[in-house]
């Protein structure tokens, strides 16, 4: 028998698999990309189900020195800016010439009619596009780390990545997101259990947790 593959879009699809329907079994974990409505749906459902991450609009950051080709840089910026009207597209460069030429080329490309989403890209570029000139490569790396953009122009393994500077403390979707880690510890000697019980009592009483302290005392008296 073939597995059921439900077809759906946006918020209704997210709701259906998160809470279940007559034909769709409820899931425990939601993962994957979507627009702002899907992201908000995942945010509201967090706790009811697990989610991979709460992602904002797509972002792109290009880091360039004097060897960069302005046309390629411009094309990379526009390729992401066309995803939505609120996509930050940022160039940080040590070369003012590269910066100026990139701006000129971006404006020319946005006036072309053969792009699939020129109007969306123009809105995004006008509102959130940035070209930043720095003096040294050290400043470039430091500012790049500060932005912690979702898409940095280096090849990667997937495109479900953290946005809005959250890359400073978390990574993208990977197989570990689907795994649950269970930790445990084992006490092998009876006297060790007693020592731990005594320490638990000492730790609990300053917090005014008398019942946990007595639970520790019980083991200390039994095994010491």
Cα–Cα distance between 19 and 31 in angstroms, integer? 15
Would you call 29 helix, strand, or coil by DSSP?
A: strand
Look at residue 164 in the predicted model and tell me its pLDDT.
72
Higher-confidence position of 188 and 160:
188
Q: Do 24 and 4 touch, CB atoms closer than 8 A?
A: yes
Q: What pTM does this model have? A: 0.65
**Residue range(s) in the chain whose domain bears CATH number 3.40.50.1980:** 58-176
pLDDT at 66 over 90: yes
- Show which residues are catalytic: 150
Q: What is the mean pLDDT of the chain?
A: 86
Tell me which residue of 54, 78, 85, 61 sits closest to 162, measured CA to CA: 54
Tell me which residue of 25, 19, 28, 26 sits closest to 50, measured CA to CA: 28
Cα–Cα distance between 44 and 48 in angstroms, integer? 9
pLDDT at 1 over 60: no
- The count of C-alpha atoms lying within 13 angstroms of the C-alpha of 103, restricted to the half-sphere facing its C-beta, is 13
Look at residue 205 in the predicted model and tell me its pLDDT.
92
Query: Which pLDDT tens digit goes with each residue over 21-58?
Result: 888 889 999 888 777 888 889 999 998 899 888 777 88
Q: At what angle do helices 210-223 and 190-204 cross, to 10 degrees?
A: 150
pLDDT at 64 over 70: yes
> Among 24-38, 118-132, 156-170, which is the least confidently predicted range?
156-170
Cα torsion angle, 207, 210, 215, 219, sign: positive
Average pLDDT over residues 160-175: 76
Higher-confidence position of 172 and 51:
51
Longest dimension (CA), the chain: 83
Percent of the chain exceeding pLDDT 70 equals: 95
Cα–Cα distance between 85 and 106 in angstroms, integer? 16
Tell me which residue of 176, 146, 145 sits closest to 160, measured CA to CA: 176
Query: Which pLDDT tens digit goes with each residue over 77-114?
Result: 998 888 888 889 999 999 999 999 999 999 998 887 67
CATH: 3.30.200.20, 3.40.50.1980, 3.20.20.70, 2.50.20.10. Which one for 58-176?
A: 3.40.50.1980
Which CA distances in Å does 20 have to 28, 35, 49?
Answer: 10, 21, 11
Look at residue 99 in the predicted model and tell me its pLDDT.
96
Look at residue 73 in the predicted model and tell me its pLDDT.
93
| Residues 6 or more apart in contact with residue 73 via CB below 8 angstroms | 62, 64, 91, 98, 102
167: pLDDT confidence band, cut at 50, 70 and 90? confident
């Amino acid at each position: 028998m073939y597995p059921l593959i439900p077809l759906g879009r946006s918020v209704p699809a997210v709701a259906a698999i998160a809470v279940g329907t007559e034909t769709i079994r409820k899931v425990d974990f939601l993962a994957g990309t979507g627009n702002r409505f899907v992201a908000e749906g995942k945010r509201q459902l967090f706790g009811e189900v697990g989610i991979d991450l709460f992602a904002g609009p797509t972002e792109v950051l290009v880091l360039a020195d004097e060897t960069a080709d302005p046309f390629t840089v411009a094309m990379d910026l526009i390729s992401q800016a066309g995803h939505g009207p609120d996509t930050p597209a940022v160039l940080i460069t040590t070369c003012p010439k590269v910066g100026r030429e990139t701006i000129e080329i971006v404006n020319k490309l946005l006036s072309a009619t053969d792009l699939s989403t020129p109007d969306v890209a123009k809105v995004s570029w006008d509102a959130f596009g940035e070209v930043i000139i720095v003096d040294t490569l050290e400043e470039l790396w430091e500012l790049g780390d500060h932005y912690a953009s979702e898409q940095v122009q280096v090849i990667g393994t997937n495109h479900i990545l953290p946005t809005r500077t959250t890359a400073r403390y978390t990574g993208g979707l990977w197989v570990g997101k689907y795994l649950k880690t269970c930790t445990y510890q084992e006490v092998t000697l009876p006297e060790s259990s007693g020592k731990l019980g005594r320490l638990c009592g000492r730790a609990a009483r300053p917090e005014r947790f008398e019942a946990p302290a007595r639970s520790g005392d019980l083991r200390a008296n039994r095994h010491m």
